[in-house]
Structure 1
C-alpha cells in the first residue's frame, strides 16, 4: 500500500528483543501512515481477486524513516520481518499466544483486477493458522481511524470478500486492542523476549511428561523440572513460545500460576502453499 506522512508516533516496541537477536533500523520519527491515492477500485463487484504467498525480500533497513525488525521465530523456525511498532506488537502476540499455530508476516499478497483491467495489490501484515484449523489474515494500524479512510476501506472490503470466498478470515486490528489489557501486553512482551533464549535439550520432553497428567502451578512445575526459582518464568515462557506449555496471559505470573500443556492444534493449511 502506498504510504505518506500523516501522523507522528514515538512509541517504541523494539526494546523487548535481546541484543543478540535484534536487527532493526531506526525509529518512527516521521508521521505514521495514510493512503496517498484515491482507491483504484471503482466497481468492487466486478473486481477479480487472487491471493497467494510470495517472497517480499528484505524489509529491514537502517534508515531513520521508520522502525523495521526481523527475528528468528522459535515457534515457526523461520525469519519473520516487518515494519512499524504495531506490526512488531502483533508479531509478539503471534509468537506467544497458545491459540496460534504457524504464522507469516508479509509473506502473502492479493492481486485485484478491475473491469477496466487496472491492477492493484494488497499485502496483509500477517497471516496465521489457529489451533482450530482456521486461517486469518490481518491488517494492523495504530487506531480505527485509519480503517475508515475511504481508499483503505474500499481496498480492505474487497480483500475481505475475496478471502472469505476462500474460507479465510480477515481481521482489522488496532494497537488499542492489542494494548487494552496491559497485564496481558506485559506478559506477551516478556514471553516473546524469553522465547529467544536457550533451554536445555531435555527440558521440552520433561515438561511434556510433567504436564501430561494435568495442570501444574508454576512453582510445582519448576520443581518437577529441577529449575531454580529465578529461571522458572523464563523457561515456561520459552516452552509456551514453542507450543509445549500454556497459561492465561491475562493472569498475574506468580508461583501459583496455572500452567497447562499447549492445546492440540487441528490440521491447517500450509501457509507457504496458500492460494485462492
Structure 2
C-alpha cells in the first residue's frame, strides 16, 4: 500500500493495520520521561537513614553483651534482672508521657507479671530444649537468626521485605538458642526476659524517641563493654558502623547522578481512585 495513503498512526493496535507489526512512529517517544518524580537525598539524610540500622545493630550488640556476662557469670542474673526491670519501667513512663493513666498502667502491669510468671515456669524447658545440639551449631544458628532480625526489622520505611513478625520471632528464637548455653534455668529466664525487653518492647520506644544523640550514647556504651571483652570484636564493631554510617551513605549520594529510569506510554496503566468517585 502507498505510504502516502495510509491513515495517520495512532497508539491503538486496531487502527494501525496499514503499518508493519514492528513499526514505531516517531511520535511514540514524545511522552518519554526520564527520572520522573526522582527524589535526591543529601549526605545527612542518607546518614540519618543509615543510623536507624546502626541503632538496631547496637541494640543487638548490647543484648549479646548481656549474654556474655551471664555466660561467664561475671554479673549475677538477679542484678541484670533488676536493672532490666528498672529500665523497662523508665521506658514505659517515657513512652506514655502525658498520656499516662493509672488504669492503663495497672492493666499493663498485669500483662507484664503474666509474661514473667509464664517465662519463669517454662524457662527450665527452654533451657534444656537444645541440650543435644552442639555449641557451634547453636552459635551459628543464633548469628543467622539475628541477621534475619536485622533484615526484616521495621526501620520506618514501606517495603515488601519488612515484617515485624519475622523480625521478632527470629530474635526470640536466637535468644532461646543462647539461653540453652547458660548454667541454670534462672539464667535462661533472665536472658529471655531481657530479649523480650530488647526486641518486643524496645522497638516501640525507640521508634518514638530515636535521635542521633541517643545513637551516640548507645554506641559509647557498646564501645566501653566491647573494649573490655575483646579488642577484635571491638574493632569489628567500629568497622561495621563506619561502613554503614559513612561508606554506604557516601556511595548512595554519589551514585544518585547515574540513576536513569524511563517512563512512557509502555508503562502499566494506574487506576486513580479519585477519578472513580
Q: Which has the higher contact order (CA 8 A, sep 6+)?
A: 2
Q: TM-score scaled by structure 1?
A: 0.22
Larger radius of gyration: 2
Structure with a larger share of its residues in strand: 1
Compare the two structures and name the one with the higher helix fraction: 2
**TM-score computed with the length of structure 2 as normaliser:** 0.22
